[in-house]
Structure 1
Amino acid sequence: MNKTIDIGQYVETAINWLTDNAKPVFDVIKNVGNSSILGIEWALVNTPFYIIILLFTLLALWKAGKGTAIMTAAGLTLIFLMGFWKETMETLALIFVATLTALILSVPLGIWAAKNQFAAKIIRPLLDLMQTMPAFVYLIPAVLFFSIGKVPGAFATIIFAMPPAVRLTTLGIESVPKDIVEAARAFGATNRQILFKVELPLATNTILAGINQTILLSLSMVVIAGMIAAGGLGEKVLEGINNLDIGLGFESGLSVVILAIILDRITQGFVKKKTAK
């Protein structure tokens, strides 16, 4: 059947135009992104494993309790004993940069959507598109813009992981009781003061929940990012699939699960601690 409307052609034209005309910008992003990821990766890989395990265990004990601390120590030790420590640190570095970048972009967008109805009408459909588009599709522009490597993996991860943080930031701001905002305004608070001293503090729990979801979605992109040489556990999972190596696939997949559970429990601990206060 012949196409009546060829939307893909217009998207392809736009991507090709950006690739040709915005190359200097993409080169700068690639260099900064590579330097950030490789710097964090170097620090994590070259720090003795027992120090990393101790730091994560203490953080888990502080924010999530004794049970999570024991699970964290046991889980990270198991990853080390299975021989996936270096790959896990590479994955952690990629997740850290991608999550931080996603949050830097998401929180202001979420605030804007909460404050401006016109912006919300534009942003929400875009978030629907970003969340429902198959994640593999993001690899196409990522590779065209940045070639293969860690940066396109981070780029695809950022796009996939942003929506929950934007939505939950918007929800948190919109959920602040109107009477509290009006009371602050009645006492002469400016819009900026209301945002930073009233709305954001009261919305912190919801925003932290968005951060939790962003981290987990970043981890879910690990295997897909591995397809474009982003390194880490994703490449090991793909190696197991390509070689039909059940043991390698299971162990590398188990390492992803352990890392996801640890990060999930610790970030949830931040939310619970904040609620308790």
Structure 2
Amino acid sequence: MREEDPPPLRRQEPLPDQQPKPLLEDPEAARRLAALLTSPSYREADSDFDFLNSDAARGPRLELDYLKAETLLRQHGVTDSIVVFGSTRIAEPQAAQARLAEAQAFAAAHPDDPEAARRARVAERLAEKAHYYDVAREFGRIVGACCELPDGRRLAIVTGGGPGVMEAANRGAYDVGAPTVGLNISLPHEQFPNPYVTPELCFRFHYFAMRKLHFVLRARALVAFPGGYGTLDELFETLTLAQTRVMKPLPIVLVGEKWWRRVFDTDFLVEEGVIAPEDQALFSYAETAGEIWENILRWRQKAGGPLL
């Protein structure tokens, strides 16, 4: 080999550490070496799952929880989002009617069972709210049809990735061939993402904090349908961020004015002095998919930053 030639990829003569200590030098060397190679401390950190799941590694886990979704969202060009929340229990109308019929039949067969009667009443109320599934699906179609924004930006529906209203919004975007995002969370029980999320944009987070961050990081609007604790959690957190201006205010639309006014009475909160009158302007009400979209566009125009 000439001096000017680059060295080969593999050494022709092994280095001393490429061979274990000879048994002739120490008969116990092989046993000791085996103990070293199988010791948890010898595992590379990114392959040591016990270490990665330890309390000490919580910081890197938080970072990875954020980084994976951020990297893939960027790779797929998702720059803007409209976040949709709502109950997992609000099914599409046909399914809601089938569940209602089943609950009513069971209650009729067990007239002395108060729990059966309660379940029938709940099924009836959920059937009354099933039209919100159609509203959310239509809204998903509207947003999906506008997914390609100027300057190479891309708008996507973002939900928690579950059933009910979230499924409907993802499904609407899916109907028109638009990318749609689902942010699932690891829970103690088995769960499944709804089948209408774009496979490359379906995420499962370990930490609620990182999931919440990704909900608002690209959000251009928040739409809240009737829902339970999860919906209320995300709504009130966003309202607080907007109220305190920790986050720039954004259009927040509550779908179903009658329902929301019963859930929380902002007139009462103002009269009690716990919020200011101007805080009532942080959100608006809508009933239809078209009204939701109009409210968002109108808010953006007044704020001097059109969505499209």
Q: Which TM-score band (shorter chain)?
A: under 0.3
Q: So what's the TM-score if we normalise by structure 1?
A: 0.26
Under a length normalisation based on structure 2, what TM-score does the superposition of the two structures give?
Answer: 0.24
Q: Which has the higher strand share?
A: 2
Structure number, greater radius of gyration: 2
Structure with the higher helix share, 1 or 2 = 1
Compare relative contact order (CA 8 Å, sep 6+) and give the higher one, 1 or 2. 1
